[in-house]
Amino acid sequence: MPPGVALSLISYLLYSCCDAIIKGFGSGLTVFEIAFWTALFSLLPVVFTKPKTERWQDFWAMKHPFLVNLRSITGLVGNICIIFAFTTIPLAEAYSIAFLAPIFVVALSRTFLGESVSTYRWAFLFASFVGVLLVVRPGFRELYPGHLAALIAALMGAITTTVLRRVAPHEKRVSLLGIPLGYVVIFNGLIMLFQGVRLPSLEQFGMLMAIGAIGGTSNILFITAARLAKASQIAPGQYSQIIWAVIFGALFFKEFPDSFAFVGLAVVITGGILNVLSDEARVRIFSRLSVFGPASAVSEVSPPLTDEPPAHQPKQDRGSTAPAMGK
């Protein structure tokens, strides 16, 4: 197995570990407290991803301030929604719904970026949608707010990804990482102040620190993987997170999908991988959590969506990488 692929699989596993730890909080902390502390603790690993040529104090100097802030807002909303989903519904169900994001991305890319979509890709995306229906089975079982939250998270992730693909080649990494984290920390911090500050217990602090450290480390591993392997090699591995969701759900939360759900999850994984492999021109790597997932590292694997490549990317390499889709 190529080293880049192996590192990407490890990073996807670590992202799933973060999600499982978040679910472990249950009702012990509010969604806003979890989002605040995990984002705060993730700042330290983020420091190590900053290019030496950039300065943190220049984060405000942006070429596309509206789009960068839009990406940060959608990332904030998606972050809160997916945390709520993880803590209220089974992990496998949250993952399956969140992995509807590629459908939204394709629709947005076609509408706003003018990209063509082949019939094969629509077929694979439709198969993934059918798989999600088999997992959730609306109309045949009770649905909860967490299911809606996961769907909103998928939509927000798609918007985040589409915008990020546009701005990543042209903006500083300190802007792409610092501003979204700032949104999460400040917004959730204000909500916490309004609700009354309540410090987590020592055990909860340990879990929060673990999420931040593991999530930040995952981003570093993913960036390294993206430098060692093509996006087309590491993108299919993202669906391994669904498998980890089933395993962690069974081991730690006594969540056991039924036969219909297993079939649906298999369809989601198969359709998703075929969707990735069917598009040689643009491979999208996505995550549900924009703060902790591969979307944070999108500029490492995304060529620009303009006619000319950025200064750091030779023209002959234009087709060697592909726009990435973003936890």
Render pLDDT for 118-170 as a digit per residue (tens, 0 to 9). Answer: 787 788 888 888 999 999 888 678 889 999 999 999 898 888 878 877 787 77
More confident position, 220 or 256: 256
pLDDT tier at 45, thresholds 50, 70, 90: low
- Residue 296 is predicted with a pLDDT of 47
- Residue 113 is predicted with a pLDDT of 65
3-state secondary structure the chain: CCHHHHHHHHHHHHHHHHHHHHHHHCCCCCHHHHHHHHHHHCHHHHHCCCCCCCCHHHCCCCCCHHHHHHHHHHHHHHHHHHHHHHHHCCHHHHHHHHCCHHHHHHHHHHHHCCCCCCHHHHHHHHHHHHHHHHHHCECCECCCHHHHHHHHHHHHHHHHHHHHHHHCCCCCHHHHHHHHHHHHHHHHHHHHHHHCCCCCCHHHHHHHHHHHHHHHHHHHHHHHHHHHCCHHHHCHHHHHHHHHHHHHHHHHHCCCCCHHHHHHHHHHHHHHHHHHHHCCCCCCCCCCCCCCCHHHHHHHCCCCCCCCCCCCCCHHHCCCCCCCCCC
More confident position, 257 or 217: 257
Arithmetic mean of pLDDT over the chain: 79
Domain residue ranges of the chain, discontinuous segments joined by +: 3-304
Render pLDDT for 270-320 as a digit per residue (tens, 0 to 9). Answer: 988 887 776 544 555 554 443 455 544 443 444 433 434 444 444 433 333
When mean pLDDT is compared across 24-28, 54-58, 59-63, 317-321, the lowest value belongs to: 317-321
- Residue 326 is predicted with a pLDDT of 37
Stated pTM of the model: 0.82
More confident position, 7 or 114: 7
